[in-house]
Amino acid sequence: MTRSSSMALALLVLAASALSLLPASLAVTSPYVRPATRPTLPLLQDDDDDGQTPQQVHISIVGPDKMRVTWITDDDAPAIVEYGTTPGQYPLSATGSTTTYSYLLYHSGKIHDAVIGPLQPSTTYYYRCSSNPSREFSFRTPPATLPFKFVIVGDFGQTGWTASTLKHIAAADYDALLLPGDLSYADLIQTRWDSFGRLVQPLASARPWMVTEGNHEIEKIPVVQPEPFRAYNARWRMPYDAGATPSGDNLYYSFDVAGGAVHVLMLGSYTDYAAGTAQYQWLRRDLAAVDRRKTAFVVALVHAPWYNSNRAHQGEGDAMRGAMEELLRGARVDAVFAGHVHAYERFARVYGGKEDPCGPVHVTIGDGGNREGLAEKYIDPQPSISAFREASFGHGRLEVVNATHALWTWHRNDDDQAVVADQVWITSLAANPACNKNKNNMRTVNIQN
């Protein structure tokens, strides 16, 4: 190890130990001057010439050893996925189901999904959809143990900056992508959902993409289109009916990775969350079932941030925070990632608006590259609980290294290079004795109400 890398490591360890103690003087507003905005990409056109060519393929985790494959064909085609571990050979298969939806004058293609498995961990599988020989896809299953690498980014859209973000993600070695809402920015134009599916297919067919909804997924029009989330729920079905605590609703769910070492909560900012609602009651049950003696890290995703010093969307996450923050702190949730605000911001460990060594680190990562542009106006002076903020596009990576440490890095789209512009070690709250005084009660840590 070189002297400079030794010093860097020492600084990172120092940062980890000091994370909950950041003084106000370390609140940083980045001086980075970003490049100009980039236009929306032309819609990626349908290349399904025979009506049965699979397109918009994406995969999602279902339980510890299964994967859901979702794809679309223009015309009727069998909902079958054939797969194996050798290219061109598919000894295994699973048959799922097909749905469609209509939205005003738009009629979707045939949306198929099938759950395949059991699968071996850390293994590359080759697969084809609808028995169509023209396209072979492949993915790597996540590891069954730590370390585990997430990419986290929200508010994608489909602009030149989205393409830049996707290119940087594609160059990363990661196990699963977490998306805290606002996917396509279709904004009622349903062909944009199809275009988004084609844009992300190279990545989303190769690694699981786990998403929760943002406001751009609602797409509700009074009287003529009263059902919210119609396209989102039809196209991006998540494992709400799997896992230890099924939620029964595609708008919020949870799942485990790395053999249960990491528990991920995908919460719904745009469905009821107040005490007594179905989501609240599910969250209580879900957190009570997490055994922090076995689960090193618990992370949560929401769309509207609960902490935000950007002038954009001020206060929009406050009601949800008021309803659920106590539950998350009680379960010693380690980090909360949000989207919605088109910028990057990392907070200290917080609870109730103040620094709290047993509260989660909050991060806003709504900077995938959408057409609405960046949120550049901040509240000044920067609140002391805000550790770093910058209005640039980019993506985040959370590498859970072991049962006590996870490394969070934010990669800014610096022109066309991905540059690490912020990083911090996050230590597991389950491993912090000061936050878990009653060790015998760790199974249902501090779920009091």
Where on the chain is the footprint of Fe ion (CB under 5 A)?
A: 182, 214-215, 340
Report in angstroms how near the CB of residue 317 gets to Fe ion at its nearest: 11
Bin 185: left if φ > 0, else alpha if -120 < ψ < 50, else beta.
left
Distances 70 to 51, 87, 232, 251, 309 between C-alpha atoms, Å:
16, 20, 13, 17, 38
Nearer Cβ to Fe ion (144/189): 189
362 is catalytic: no
Report in angstroms how near the CB of residue 338 gets to Fe ion at its nearest: 10
Of 344, 343, 325, 324, residue with least CA distance to 423 = 344
Report in angstroms how near the CB of residue 40 gets to Fe ion at its nearest: 17
Looking at 313, 340, 395, 405, which residue is catalytic? 313
- Distance, in Å, from the CA atom of 118 to the CA atom of 138, rounded to the nearest integer, reads 16
Nearer Cβ to Fe ion (356/372): 372
Report in angstroms how near the CB of residue 313 gets to Fe ion at its nearest: 7
Nearer Cβ to Fe ion (149/303): 303
DSSP-derived letter for residue 42 is P
C-beta neighbour count of 384 within 10 angstroms? 15
Report in angstroms how near the CB of residue 204 gets to Fe ion at its nearest: 20
Distances 330 to 260, 283, 350, 433 between C-alpha atoms, Å:
19, 12, 13, 14
Report in angstroms how near the CB of residue 340 gets to Fe ion at its nearest: 4
Phi, psi of 351 (to 5 degrees): -160, 135
Omega before 381 cis (within 30°)? yes
The per-residue DSSP string of 198-222 comes to HHHHHHHTTSBEEE---GGGT--BT
Dihedral Cα 70, 73, 74, 78, nearest 10 deg: -110
Nearer Cβ to Fe ion (80/312): 312
Report in angstroms how near the CB of residue 312 gets to Fe ion at its nearest: 10
C-beta neighbour count of 218 within 10 angstroms? 14
- Distance, in Å, from the CA atom of 361 to the CA atom of 47, rounded to the nearest integer, reads 43
Instruction: Name the β-bridge partners of 97.
Output: 113
Is the separation of the CB atoms in 10 and 3 below 8 Å? no
Report in angstroms how near the CB of residue 249 gets to Fe ion at its nearest: 20
Q: What is the largest CA-CA distance in the chain?
A: 66
Nearer Cβ to Fe ion (142/394): 394
Nearer Cβ to Fe ion (326/372): 372
Strand, coil or helix: what is 355? strand
Rg (CA), the chain: 21
Nearer Cβ to Fe ion (311/443): 311
Of 253, 291, 262, residue with least CA distance to 175 = 262
Nearer Cβ to Fe ion (125/156): 156
Dihedral Cα 409, 125, 296, 367, nearest 10 deg: 30
- Catalytic positions: 313
